[in-house]
Amino acid sequence: MSRKRNESRVAVLGIVLAVWGCSKEPAPTPPPPVREAPAAVQAAGPGASRSLGELPVVEGGSVAKVFAQKLARPTFLGETTAVHVKLPPPINRGLAGSLVRVVGEPSMPTVLFHSDTLARLGVIPASPGPDFFTLFARLPDSEVDRRGENERRLASGEFGAPTRETVLFNGRHPAARYEGLPMDPNAFARGALVPQTSCPQVPASTEAWWERTLMIRDPAVVLDPARTWDPCTGAGTKGGVWTFAHLMREMAQGSGVSPEAFVLEWLSLWLNDFQSNGDTVPARRKMYDEVIAPWAAASGALSSLEFNASTNRWEVVLRKPLDLDIAPFRLLGIINRIDLGGGTEYGGRSSNPGELRFIFGLTRPSPWGGGTEATCNLKPFTTIFEYGVPGEGCRAVTQWARQWVGLGMYPTFNEAYRSRLQRMTESVVRHGRAPGKGNQSALNQLRTNEVALAFPWELREFHLADEHPGTSKDTPSNGLLRVHTLALTPNDATHDFRTDPDVDFFVRTQVKNGVEQPVSIPSHCTARFTVPSSVNDRFFLGANAQVAPPTHWEAASAVATNATEVCARKEFSSNTCNGCHFKDTGTNDFTGVDNLAFTHVSPTSGIPARESRFLTGGGNGSMYVVPDAQFGAQVASWPFADLLRRHQRLQELAHCATCGWFIDLDAGYLKRMEALAGSVPLDVPPGAPGPTFTVGPILDVGVVRQLLELRPGLRLRSRDLPLDFLEPPAARVH
């Protein structure tokens, strides 16, 4: 039995002895202060900021992974352009040398043909090289002209002082500097290979751009008297459009209960143990003392926490509903995560505008709604509403990006800025914006990160969906918020973060097999993988995540001299909640002077809320370099400057994303491929469900010709996608 299980059972036993037959649980022993941590954790060394100017400079053409080439005549499907993509070597080594590659979901596959082979067949005029594969699109001339006009406007300084230098990111890590290349309309019209890189010039990254378009934390917004309400001072408008109350009211529509009951049922999920995917998560009944009881008192409601012997559960009894308008959750920031846009899987034929997020910090005001900042009693507890921005397709993405860039053009956070931001947020959070999701809410997930209720820090995740861990699929469902396993994160109750054999096996086989080759630490280290609900027939994904410990995840048998294993460990761990919120990102400063610990936006620093150096890099023009969590700086150090990465991505999508129309194929095409070639070269990420057909390479040029001839007979609808839609996303969920 793990330490976490032992501690939780002892704690539960103590609670039962103390409160059996009572109506209210006595306040348990308070957790250690926020800045304290076990000695072994405190020993972890922080990172250091370094100048981005130290990165090497590379030639722009060398980073191009996508080329567009106009065809002499359209295909039978009306496609006008060959799109050449530099694919990494297949994860399935048996597919090496295949003249056809299939990526994405089998139900909506992306089929690509080896560019050199197509050139030999005379299908395309030229190939960019042996590592490239080709698919076809309809690219209107107007789209090429629009890209050229945008480049001209950027160079003129219309959107701010431009810079020619772009930082090349390897996943989330700054790796080099280069100059983007223009999309030459004349060369494209002649059938030349035109590289698709970032804009040749973009507005220079500044903290002002970050604040207005990416991480909006300014007091003029988060304390806007017309749109927010401050539980500490009582200033503002109750139920304003950026309040906790408004978001919950919109989310609760269609749930079958009132918004007040909807919120109470969510908070009550902390009052009893729960289980998901084999992980039993101990209750944190201090939720009643810290949140529910004081909120009820401020609402003028008598409350009690009572044990129901018939259900064997702790329940809150309220004499009147909570007053949702005076919720103790204070807005810390409105976050644009357009960088999370794209398909759910690498190669999937979809494109979406990413997420819109609201971060709230818990308070316990004294007096409630009539005090000052000094009496606010800020708690180490954040609640994050994470909405999927409605819309699909390249144009939906670019239009959303342009709205954010438009916000960035305002010189101040004036009423015009705030009105425009309100229109954007309301277009996402209002009931009915996502008809196919639970309660017709666009919510993807709601997450919490806290140590106010117990030690150590704990993260939880909630969805408006029914989870099916065995199939890794969720079914959107109306009703209440439900607990959900945490994305990409193992169960830390049954898996030790340093010595666990399942973690070691998963990292050194499936994640390692998904590492893109060749590896160069730290300038080239990315991996494609999915985390299954079970590994080695044991439950793997966890229903909560505790931090410090675990501080990160190690591959116990990995060796420091094997760059692929070093990369695999980092890729796995940094995508977990534990690693992302502590050692893998250097978010481990307990002094609170230079950095944050456990959170990337601080709930206890006041307004504006402080950001982690993982986000800022230590300041504009800098990157935050963090020693490898398992092997230390002597083996690898990983740089971060995430707001710069997000800024570049936003500007690219707003100005230089080129949209083409791609014809869908379906599983029927793959069945015809299997019948014709005997196998399908589908390259699925490790951990993903296996296909139902035979997987293998296609090596016969004649088969390639026949597969090309099959396409007109299987025409389906087309989708507008950016030409670089096959680029693996730099960020996944955090």
Give per-residue pLDDT as tens, 254-297: 999 999 999 999 999 999 999 999 999 999 999 999 999 999 99
Q: How far is CA 137 from the centre of its chain?
A: 28
Cβ contact 431:359 at 8 Å: no
Confidence of residue 242 (pLDDT cuts 50, 70, 90): very high
pLDDT category at 350 given cuts 50, 70, 90 is confident
Mean pLDDT of 503-532: 94
What would the mean pLDDT of 120-127 be, rounded to a whole number?
A: 96
Please report the pLDDT score of residue 39 as a whole number: 35
Comparing C-alpha atoms, which of 680, 715, 662 is closest to residue 90? 680
pLDDT score of 542 more than 70:
yes
pLDDT of residue 342: 80
Mean pLDDT of 128-132: 96
* Residue 14 confidence (pLDDT): 29
> Confidence class of residue 347 from pLDDT cuts 50, 70 and 90?
low
Mean pLDDT across 108-123: 95
pLDDT tens figures, 544-578: 999 999 999 999 999 999 999 999 999 999 999 99
Whole-number mean pLDDT of the chain? 91
> Is residue 691 reached through a cis peptide bond, with omega within 30 degrees of 0 on the bond before it?
no
What is the structure's pLDDT at 733? 83
Identify which of 625, 635, 631, 509 has the alpha carbon closest to the alpha carbon of residue 48: 625
How many percent of the chain have pLDDT more than 90? 84
pLDDT at residue 487 greater than cutoff 70: yes
The predicted structure's pLDDT at residue 26: 32
Mean pLDDT of 169-195: 95
pLDDT at 715 (0 to 100) = 66
Q: Which residues pair with 356 in a beta bridge?
A: 336, 387
Six-digit token string for 33:
């202060």
Evaluate whether residue 697 is within a structural domain. Answer: yes
Rounded to whole angstroms, how far apart are CA atoms 365 and 445?
A: 27
pLDDT of residue 703: 97
| Contact call for residues 533 and 277 (beta carbons, < 8 A) | yes
Q: What is the pLDDT of residue 346?
A: 66
Helix (H) or strand (E) holding 661: strand 659-663
| 315 within a domain of the structure (yes/no) | no
Angle between helices 415-429 and 394-408 (to 10 degrees): 150
Please name the helix (run of DSSP H) or strand (run of DSSP E) that holds residue 614, with its range, or none: helix 613-616
The per-residue pLDDT for 687 is 67
Give the 3-state secondary structure of residue 303.
strand
Q: Confidence class of residue 473 from pLDDT cuts 50, 70 and 90?
A: confident
**Is residue 718 in a domain?**
yes
Residue 184 lies in a domain: yes
- Residue 662, domain member (yes or no): yes
Cis peptide preceding 225, ω within 30 of 0: no
In a domain, 102, yes or no: yes
Q: What is the pLDDT of residue 343?
A: 63
How many helical (H) and strand (E) elements, i.e. helices and strands, does the chain have? 21, 31
Question: Between 32 and 377, where is the model more confident?
Answer: 377
Query: Whose CA is closest to 108, among 722, 670, 721?
Result: 670
pLDDT of 107 reads 81
pLDDT of residue 471: 80
For the beta carbon of residue 520, count every other beta carbon within 10 angstroms.
12
**What is the pTM for the complete model shown?**
0.93
Tokens for 154? 């950027």
Q: Count of domains in the chain? A: 1
Give me the pLDDT at residue 238, please: 98
Assign 450 to helix, strand or coil: strand
Domain that holds residue 141: 60-205+653-722
- Of 199, 99, 114, 82, residue with least CA distance to 152: 199
SS3 379: strand
Residue 686 has a pLDDT of 67
265, containing H or E segment = helix 259-267
The pLDDT of residue 19 is above 80: no
E strand map for 180-249? 194-195, 202-203, 215-216
Mean pLDDT of 386-401: 96
* Buried b or exposed e, range 443-477, using 16+ CB within 10 angstroms: bbbbbbbbbbbbbbbbbbbbbbbebebeebebebe
> Identity (one letter) of the amino acid at 61?
G
- The answer to whether 200 touches 206, Cβ cutoff 8 Å, is no
The single residue listed with the structure tokens 């139902």 is: 692
Interatomic CA distance for residues 638 and 573, integer angstroms: 13
Give the pLDDT band of residue 18 (cuts 50, 70, 90): very low
Which run of H or of E encompasses 155? helix 141-155
SS3 702: helix
Per-residue pLDDT, 563: 97
Q: Is residue 672 part of a domain?
A: yes
pLDDT of residue 143: 94
Asked whether residue 30 is domain-assigned, the answer is: no
Average pLDDT over residues 371-390: 97
Q: What mean pLDDT do residues 387-405 have?
A: 97
pLDDT tens string 193-228: 999 999 999 999 999 999 999 999 999 999 999 999
Structural tokens at position 594: 């230079």
In angstroms, the first-to-last Cα distance of the chain is 30
pLDDT of residue 594: 85
Q: Tens digit of pLDDT for each residue in 656-702?
A: 999 999 998 877 899 999 999 999 999 887 667 778 899 999 999 99
**Structure-model confidence comparison of residues 461 and 89, the more confident one:** 461
Ordered DSSP codes for 87-125: PPPPSSGGGTT-SEEEES-TTS-EEEEEHHHHHHHTSSS
Q: What single DSSP character describes residue 431? A: T
